[in-house]
Amino acid sequence: MEQSKPRAKGPPMRQACWSKSHHQSQLPLFAGLTNLLDMGHQAAANETRVASDGAQTKNLFGVDRDETKIAQAAIDYRLEDHQVSDMESIKALLRNFLDDVNEPQTERSSYFDGLLSQWLSIWRTDRTHSILVYVLGDRSEQYGNRTLDFKDLDDIDKVKTRFLEQQCLQHGVCLYLSKMTSAINTNPNDALEVKMAINLHEIRDLSGALRINKPVSARRESLIQQSILKERYHQQIARQNPYPSPTENASPRQIDTAKSFQDWVLVIMPEGYQFKFLTDNADPEELHDWIKTQSASIQLLEKDLAAADPNLRWGLTLACEAQLKNISMWLETFHGPNSSHQDLQESVRQSGMLETVFHASLRLQDADLVQKAVALGPRRLSLTMWEEVGSTMELSHFPLYQNSLNQTLLNIDSLQDRYIVLHSIRVGFEKQNLPQESKETIYDWIQDRIEQSFNEIGRVEENDGAILVLIAKRFARPTIVNRIVDFAARHSSHLAFAIEFAFSLYDELVANTMDAGSVRYALAAILSITIPTLCMQGSHDWSLPQGFQNSASVNALSQDSQMLQADRMARLVRCCLTVGLYNEEHALLRHMWVVASVADTPTLQNVFLPYLKLLLVVMRDHHIPLTKQIYQWQFQQVISLFITRFIGKEPKPLSADLNCPPLGCANPSRPYGCPTCLELDAFLVDPRRKSADVKGGIDAPEHVATQIQGTDYLQMTVVSHSAAQMQSTIRITKNITKSEESDARHDLWKEKVMKANDMIQAICGDAEWKILLGEKYDECMGLKAVRADEDSHCNVY
Collect all residues with Cβ–Cβ distance below 8 Å to 749 and sequence separation of at least 6.
647, 648, 650, 651
Domain edge (last residue) among 537, 565, 595: 537
Q: Residue 396 falls within a domain, yes or no?
A: no
Q: Is 461 exposed, middle or buried (CB count within 10 Å of its CB: 0-12, 13-18, 19+)?
A: middle
Cβ atoms of 45 and 225 closer than 8 Å: no
Measured over the CA atoms of residue 665, residue 667, residue 670 and residue 671, the dihedral's sign is: positive
Same domain, 617 and 487: no
Domain edge (last residue) among 70, 96, 126: 126
| Number of Cβ atoms within 10 Å of the Cβ of 453 | 21
> Coil, helix or strand for 179?
strand
Same domain, 143 and 229: yes
What is the per-residue pLDDT for 246? 53
The pTM of this model reads 0.60
Same domain, 65 and 107: yes
Same domain, 627 and 702: no
CA distances from 33 to 37, 78, 597 (A): 11, 19, 95
Same domain, 648 and 519: no
- Rounded to whole angstroms, how far apart are CA atoms 462 and 594? 26
Give phi and psi for 726, each to the nearest 5: 60, 40
- Rounded to whole angstroms, how far apart are CA atoms 466 and 473? 11
Residues of the chain with pLDDT under 70: 1-84, 104-109, 139-140, 187-192, 241-256, 299-309, 335-343, 393-397, 435, 438, 476, 478, 538-561, 653-656, 737-743, 788-797
Same domain, 21 and 121: yes
- Rounded to whole angstroms, how far apart are CA atoms 451 and 458? 14
DSSP class of residue 250 equals S
Q: Residue 663 falls within a domain, yes or no?
A: no
Q: Residue 383 falls within a domain, yes or no?
A: no
Task: Identify which of 134, 111, 393 has the alpha carbon closest to the alpha carbon of residue 268.
Answer: 134
DSSP secondary structure string for all residues of 430-460: HTS---HHHHHHHHHHHHHHHHHHHHH----
Range of the domain at 35: 1-126
Same domain, 702 and 646: no
Same domain, 163 and 270: yes
Same domain, 99 and 218: no
> Coil, helix or strand for 132?
strand
Domain edge (last residue) among 70, 100, 126: 126
Same domain, 607 and 684: no
Q: How many domains does the chain have?
A: 5
Q: Residue 122 falls within a domain, yes or no?
A: yes
Q: Residue 639 falls within a domain, yes or no?
A: yes
Q: Residue 3 falls within a domain, yes or no?
A: yes
Q: Residue 547 falls within a domain, yes or no?
A: no
Same domain, 153 and 178: yes
Same domain, 625 and 766: yes
Q: Residue 403 falls within a domain, yes or no?
A: no
The amino acid present at 90, given as its one-letter code, is I
The amino acid present at 404, given as its one-letter code, is S
